[in-house]
Amino acid sequence: MELGVCYYPEHWPEQRWAEDARLMRETGLTRVRIGEFAWSRIEPEPGQFDWGWLDRAVDTLHAAGLGIIMGTPTATPPKWVVDRMPDMVALDRDGRPRGFGSRRHYCFSHAGYRAEAVRITRAVAERYGRHPGVVAWQTDNEYGCHDTVQSFSPAARDAFRQWLAARYGTVAALNAAWGNVFWSMEYRSFDAIELPNLTVTEANPAHWLAFRRFSSDQVIACNRAQVEVLRELSPGRDVTHNAMGFYTGYDHHDLAADLDVLGWDSYPLGFLEMFRFSDADKVRFARSGHPDIAAFHHDLYRGRAKSGRWSVLEQQPGPVNWARHNPAPLPGMVRLWTLEAMAHGAELVSYFRWRQFPQAQEQMHAGLLRPDATPAPALAEARAAADDIAALGEVGESVKQAALVFSYPAEWMTQIQPQGAGCSALWAAFHCYSALRRLGINVDVVHPDAPLDGYALVVVPCLPIVSDTLAANLTAFAGQVVIGPRTGSRDEDFAIPPHLAPGKLTELIGGRITLSESWRPGVVATGEGWQAGGWFDHYEGTAEPDMTAYDGRVTCWKHGRVRYAACWPEGSYIDEVIARTAHDAGFAVVPLPDHQRVRTTARYRFTFDYADATVTWEKRT
Ligand code: GAL
């Protein structure tokens, strides 16, 4: 695994660049990512390029022995681009323009913007595509950051109509697939269809699902347009993109199909603070991060990446600026996060950013250097991690144990129709992941159509649409299986299947779901050592009760090697379901301390401890 850093030469005097490059190398860094926000300096006036400074920056970094990951600057179109095409900005859900003055102010469907993005990508790739110092490209920056995948602009509406016509062929077919007879929502032509925002009450969930798919496809198409240019002008270099944490606005599996390496940006403390963790965990892990946050994404993105190649393109080095509260990591955490990425198979960890910038939006965001260029604490930790990596050598392949099935449309569907507040396919996956990991089990988060051979157990936490491939793979699979609530409960257009849930998996679980209810917090079914809630599927069939509450309600059914979890997969309930399944799959069920996780590769068994106090290890002989 290589180490790198995100660097913005345009922020610093040119006389400083060589010293920065030297210090990067001295720290053990071999990669540097540049350029992704530099459009206004590359092309200060329309059509007039200023390459001089970037040529010198590239040459300086290259001369120091750093491999450059060049970003395409399309996330930050300068003001003159917007002034020439004011309608290129996205409109938010309330129809308001997303103005200039930060970043990502473009609509993916705007043809003029898309042409500009391809033009600037071509210009940068023509200039540096064959430069010996450029080893890889990053397209744009964090598609979807600041909630920017969906746009409700006229350009998006027109493109959506075309997308619908291509998908459904006739408007009659669309009306039938969506059930538009309900509330007289039938359309007479594709041109009559609006975007699903601004309706009086909720729009048809089928309409929303189509719009989510369309919005995702627009991201993929914009990215592909850049990738094609980069392939043509920069042969032999990897193309990557940096995905985000707990972000599902587009289908990352589709994006990854066009990339060589899938990257993601790891901010463990920011994510803990901003996402759905208990206040107790937010306090307890405030300076280390929840022990599953980074690992979940490592395993998720490894599973989306073509050929399994993935990296951390941004790694939190200290306090960030964007969470509600922004503590500093405990001493040692930056090193730990780096090594954990290695244990999960990353090929690069790149710290964000080299030096804290004293101005503008991210002036409170730490770097490896302070604003005055003196070392921040993370610099020494990066150096220590570089030494650890060198000492460990090849860590070897990950050992296959559990597969966890996750799809982006599943999360879109639970967002569109939660039915119970907080019921989310993404968080169901996270809780199942966490339950498996607390038993020390390696988890691969896989696409629904991924082969399942070689795993001891498979968990499908919540997957409303089940493909024929998954149904066949699960039927052929010899290991233990857990199927979670809502799985198989919808078709491609959000309709309930003719013979009810779980549709294609009915035989697998030996029955069907006749009624689903959701429960508010506090409404629970309690059994021995576990408490279930959130959701309750009424099962009818030939499976045996596996977990029965004191009041007689069956919360988990067992049909041969398959369990059906009828309640929401969270807390002590899913821990129990997973523990039973792991036991049946032959694992020793000994929970780790809740601050500890392990990762087993062909050569090593790594232990990572997220405790906020020093832990002393005794070496056993
Ligand atoms: C990421 C983004 C970076 C920077 C960073 C701050 O989301 O890609 O450009 O803003 O966050 O933590």
Tell me, in angstroms, the distance from the centre of ligand 1 to residue 352's CA.
8
At residue 620, the pLDDT reads 63
pLDDT at 612 over 90: no
Closest ligand 1 atom, residue 37 Cα: 9
pLDDT, tens digit, for every residue of 214-261? 999 999 999 999 999 999 999 999 999 999 999 999 999 999 999 999
Please check whether residue 487 is in contact with residue 502, taking contact to mean a CB–CB distance below 8 angstroms: yes
Question: Which tens digit of pLDDT belongs to each residue from 441-450?
Answer: 999 999 999 9
Query: Does 145 sit in the ligand 1 pocket, CB within 6 Å?
Result: yes
**Residue 360 CA to ligand 1 centre (angstroms):** 13
Q: Is the CB of 75 under 6 A from ligand 1?
A: no
Q: Is 104 in the pocket of ligand 1 (CB under 6 A)?
A: no
Q: In sequence order, what E strands does 244-317 have?
A: 261-266, 310-315
**pLDDT at position 68, please?**
99
Residue 489 amino acid letter: S
Mean pLDDT, residues 51-63 taken together: 98
470 three-state secondary structure = helix
Q: CA–CA separation, 217 vs 254, rounded Å?
A: 8
Is residue 467 pLDDT above 60, yes or no? Answer: yes
What are the tens digits of pLDDT across the range 78-129?
999 999 999 999 999 999 999 999 999 999 999 999 999 999 999 999 999 9
Q: Is 267 in the pocket of ligand 1 (CB under 6 A)?
A: yes
H or E element, residue 539:
strand 535-541
Rounded CA-CA distance 262/571 in Å is 31
Which residues have CB under 8 Å from 47's CB, separation 6+?
none
Query: Can you tell me the distance from the alpha carbon of 178 to that of 187, in angstroms, rounded to the nearest whole number?
Result: 11
Is the beta carbon of 142 within 6 A of some atom in ligand 1? yes
Lowest mean pLDDT among 304-308, 380-384, 496-500, 531-535: 304-308
Cβ of 314 closer than 6 Å to ligand 1, yes or no, is yes
Whether the CB of 271 sits within 6 Å of ligand 1: no
For 470, counting Cβ atoms within 10 Å of its Cβ (0-12 exposed, 13-18 middle, 19+ buried), the class is: buried
* Per-residue buried b or exposed e for 316-332, using 16+ beta carbons within 10 Å of the residue's own CB: bbbbbeebeebbbbbee
Binned at pLDDT 50, 70 and 90, residue 297 comes out as very high
Instruction: Please write the tens of the pLDDT for every residue from 259-284.
Output: 999 999 999 999 999 999 999 999 99
* Catalytic annotation, pick one of 36, 43, 116, 142: 142
Task: State if residue 140 touches ligand 1 by the CB under 6 angstroms criterion.
Answer: no
Nearest of 336, 332, 329, 340 to residue 380 by alpha carbon: 332
How far is 566 from 427, CA to CA, in rounded Å? 16
Tokens 């200060």 sit at which residue? 44
Q: What value does the mean pLDDT take over residues 511-538?
A: 98
223 Rama sector, left if φ>0, alpha if ψ -120 to 50, beta otherwise: alpha
Is ligand 1 within 6 A of the CB of residue 265?
Answer: yes
Measured by CA distance, the residue closest to atom 6 of ligand 1 is: 320
Residue 238 Cα, ligand 1 centroid: separation in angstroms?
21
2 belongs to the catalytic site? no
Query: pLDDT per residue over 36-47, tens digit each?
Result: 999 999 999 999
For the record, the structure tokens of 571 come out as 């807390």
CA-CA distance, 345 to 516, in Å (whole number)?
40
Q: Tell me the per-residue pLDDT of 558-605, one tens digit each, with 9 for 90 and over.
A: 999 999 999 999 999 999 999 999 999 999 999 999 999 999 999 999
CA 161 to chain CA mean position, Å: 28
Torsion of CA 447, 451, 453, 459, to 10 degrees: 30
Closest Cα to atom 10 of ligand 1: 362
- Rounded CA-CA distance 87/153 in Å is 8
Q: Using a 6 Å cutoff on CB, does residue 316 contact ligand 1? A: no
What are phi and psi for residue 15, nearest 5 degrees? -65, -15
HSE toward the beta carbon, residue 31, CA cutoff 13 A = 24
Q: Is 353 in the pocket of ligand 1 (CB under 6 A)?
A: no
| Shortest-distance Cα residue to atom 5 of ligand 1 | 352
User: Is 517 one of the catalytic residues?
Assistant: no
How much distance in Å is there from the Cα of 205 to the middle of ligand 1?
Answer: 32
In DSSP terms, 513 is beta-bridged to 539
Burial class (CB in 10 A: 0-12, 13-18, 19+), 142: buried
Quick check: 527 pLDDT over 60?
A: yes
Domains of the chain from N-terminus onward: 2-144+219-392 (3.20.20.80), 154-207 (no CATH), 402-593 (3.40.50.880)
DSSP letter at 352 equals S
Residue among 36, 43, 314, 576 flagged as catalytic:
314
Query: 343-366 as b/e, with b when 16 or more CB fall inside 10 Å?
Result: bbbbbbbbbbbbbbbeeeeeeebb
Atom of ligand 1 nearest to the CA of 267: 12
Determine the distance from the C-alpha atom of residue 62 to the mean position of all C-alpha atoms in its chain, rounded to a whole number. Answer: 31
Q: At residue 69, what is the residue type?
A: I
The alpha carbon of residue 583 and the mean position of all alpha carbons in its chain are separated, in whole angstroms, by 30
Q: How many angstroms separate the CA atoms of 146 and 471, rounded? A: 36
Alpha carbon distance 195, 208 (integer Å): 8
What does the pLDDT read at residue 614? 81
Q: Give the mean model confidence (pLDDT) for residues 472-497.
A: 98
Quote the mean pLDDT of the chain: 97
Torsion of CA 181, 185, 186, 191, to 10 degrees: -160
User: Cβ of 173: how many Cβ atoms within 10 Å?
Assistant: 11
> Quick one: average pLDDT of 357-367?
98
Residue 621 confidence (pLDDT): 57
Tell me the C-alpha distance between 451 and 438, whole Å.
Answer: 25
What are the residues whose beta carbons fall under 8 Å from the beta carbon of 98, sequence distance 6 or more? Answer: 89, 90, 91, 92, 104, 105, 148
Which of 352, 362, 364 best tests ligand 1's pocket when mutated (most atoms within 8 Å of CB)? Answer: 352
How far is ligand 1, taken at its centre, from the CA of residue 343, in Å?
24
Q: Could you tell me if 10 and 53 are in contact, meaning their C-beta atoms sit under 8 angstroms apart? A: yes
So what's the pLDDT on residue 615?
80
pLDDT surpassing 80 at residue 618: no
Using the mean position of ligand 1's atoms as its centre, give its distance from the Cα of residue 436 in Å: 30
State the amino acid at position 240 in one-letter form.
Answer: T
Over residues 140-173, the pLDDT tens digits come to 999 999 999 999 999 999 999 999 999 999 999 9
Cα 293 to averaged position of ligand 1 atoms, centre (Å): 17
Distance 336 CA to ligand 1 centre (A): 21
Question: Does 365 contact ligand 1 (Cβ within 6 A)?
Answer: yes
Nearest CA, atom 9, ligand 1: 141
User: H or E element: which one contains 607?
Assistant: strand 605-609
Query: What's the pLDDT score for residue 598?
Result: 96
* pLDDT number for residue 273: 97
